[in-house]
Amino acid sequence: MGEPIGQGGDLVALAAEAYVYGYPLVSGLSTVERSMQEGVGPLAPTPFNHFAHAGQLAAPDTHFAPVDHDTVCSMAQLDLSGGPIRLHVPDTGGAYYALQFVDTWTNNFAYVGRRATGTDAGDWFIVPPGWSGREPSGVRGVIDAPTSVVSVIGRNVCDGPDDITRVRALQEQYTLTYLEPGTHRTGLPAPDPDVPAELRFFEQLRVWLADFPPAAADCAYQDRFQPLGLLEEGPSPYVSAGSALVRALTEGMAQGRERVEAAARPTTVTGGGWEMDPHLYDYNLDHFGVGTIDSPEWKIADREASYLVRAVAARVALWGSHGYEAVCAHTSHDADGNPLSGAHSYVMRFEQLPPVEAFWSVTMYEASDHHPVANPAGRRSLGDRTPGLVRGADGSLTVHISKETPTDPAAAANWLPAPDGEFRPVLRFCMPGRAIIDGSYELPAIELS
């Protein structure tokens, strides 16, 4: 991939490759840092090894992508440099929940929750790379972390405002406990503040590469970035970099960014014009712990191709889950290819309800936003847990999408409010069935009514 490294254009091409390769590490750890210093979306700033919990379902002004209106989110940033951590999870009484474990390279390497491990209470032992101690008694299993910093993304299903008290009681029972007296970090390794702003990305990448090495199979590929100064330890080579290197890095970053943006444009279109990619997070090729599926179906065959997919996933939906845990489909167009708009009324007919083991929903979003649309009715989503839906005699379900409340009572019961302007509905399938994953279940088109 690429020509032997020389000067000029070769160095620019190499910098572009480095950007694509390193973007997930920089994006992920920048978000880790932000979650501890500023907070993310509805989550307050929280130090390492503590949970942050949202107190309600996502509101219209919640800016945290991807936001759903089915679960209440939790998050913990773990630092294992001082030793293992014991995680306690509560008994949810059969209700859906998931804790997703993500390493610094944005690989989903473990899951705990209804699909993966059931809903009984229990403890899990999370250990750092290379740990060789003995697990304590009373734990259900060991979660081997590929990197010493781990992001835990939690989701508890919530059936609306009246269900929040139950969810909050569960959140209070998630605990993280140190089992060894080691010293844990209070922050991430800091880039040199004297590096010019235009080279900050590569300085972050250089510093974080040193502390969070990739999988062994990636090391040879990473070694090719030596001419860029990314593998140098100690003082930053970018504080007083020569003009040729500065030009190569800045031009390479621009090319790499364009490569990621181009790859992020819609390419997978399902029946009914919906865009869905259940394999967007299949770039983890090396670390398969509790709750993951280690099979060729869920791995990208070409390792170098996986770097671009990983960058796209970090760009469009950082820390999303594997398709076998949950998958989303979205569209901005009706069955005739015209933009969806509150100026019109639509129907979406499910001949058969989506095959899922947990739940499904359709949530209304503004055309370019990542948060649910506000409306006077307070209904931002509709799905299998929505009370009062009216089914047809044949078992079908017709969803009515419009700005105004339908006059027909049955249509009003199945109404998903639309905003004034253009909009983008999102179908969400939690624990999707095989027919959704392989595309044999046809998603219904949105048609003018």
Q: Where are the domains of the chain?
A: 43-61+68-178, 331-448
| The predicted structure's pLDDT at residue 2 | 38
Q: Where are the alpha helices (DSSP H) in 172-317?
A: 200-211, 219-223, 243-264, 303-317
Give the CA distances from residue 382 to residues 54, 364, 404, in Å, rounded to whole numbers and listed in that order.
21, 9, 16
6 band by pLDDT with thresholds 50, 70 and 90:
very low
Question: pLDDT digits over 419-435, tens only?
Answer: 989 999 999 999 999 99
106 band by pLDDT with thresholds 50, 70 and 90:
very high
Residue spans of beta strands (DSSP E) within 218-322:
275-276
Q: How far apart are CA 244 and CA 316, in angstroms?
A: 32
Q: The dihedral of CA 355, 358, 360, 365: what is its sign?
A: negative
Q: Under CATH, what is the fold of the domain 43-61+68-178? A: Immunoglobulin-like (2.60.40)
Q: How far apart are CA 347 and CA 414, in angstroms?
A: 10
| The predicted structure's pLDDT at residue 181 | 76
- Under DSSP, the state recorded for 216 is G
Q: How many CB atoms lie within 10 A of CB 198?
A: 12
Residue spans of beta strands (DSSP E) within 57-137:
71-79, 85-89, 97-103, 108-113, 122-127
More confident site: 247 or 182: 247
Residue with tokens 């712990």: 289
SS3 of residue 254 by DSSP? helix
- Check if the beta carbon of residue 382 is closer than 8 Å to that of residue 389: yes
- Check if the beta carbon of residue 110 is closer than 8 Å to that of residue 91: no
What's the one-letter identity of residue 401? Answer: I
| The predicted structure's pLDDT at residue 366 | 85
Percent of the chain with pLDDT over 90: 85
What's the rounded mean pLDDT across residues 208-212?
A: 97
Question: pLDDT digits over 365-421, tens only?
Answer: 988 766 667 766 778 899 999 999 999 999 999 999 999 999 999 999 999 999 989
Question: pLDDT digits over 122-166, tens only?
Answer: 999 999 999 998 999 999 999 999 999 999 999 999 998 899 999
Q: How far apart are CA 325 and CA 430, in angstroms?
A: 6
H helix count then E strand count, the chain: 9, 18
SS3 of residue 31 by DSSP? helix
- Under DSSP, the state recorded for 168 is H
β-strand pairing of 122-127 with 85-89? antiparallel
The vertex-261 CA angle with 224 and 152, nearest 5°, equals: 75
- Check if the beta carbon of residue 55 is closer than 8 Å to that of residue 229: no
- Check if the beta carbon of residue 445 is closer than 8 Å to that of residue 271: yes
Question: pLDDT digits over 258-310, tens only?
Answer: 999 999 976 666 667 899 999 999 999 999 999 999 999 999 999 999 999 99
Which pair of tokens denotes residue 373?
Answer: 């649309």
Among 56-70, 241-255, 280-294, 403-417, the range scoring the smallest mean pLDDT is 56-70
Choosing among 2.60.120.1600, 3.60.20.10, 2.170.130.10, 3.40.50.720, the CATH entry for 331-448 is 2.60.120.1600
| The predicted structure's pLDDT at residue 5 | 39
The pair phi, psi for residue 433, each rounded to 5°, is: -75, 165
SS3 of residue 15 by DSSP? helix
Residue 205 has pLDDT above 80, yes or no: yes
Q: Characterise 130 by phi-psi region: left (phi > 0), alpha (psi -120 to 50), beta (else).
A: left
- Check if the beta carbon of residue 97 is closer than 8 Å to that of residue 68: no
Which pair of tokens denotes residue 246?
Answer: 């500065």
Question: pLDDT digits over 384-397, tens only?
Answer: 999 999 999 999 99
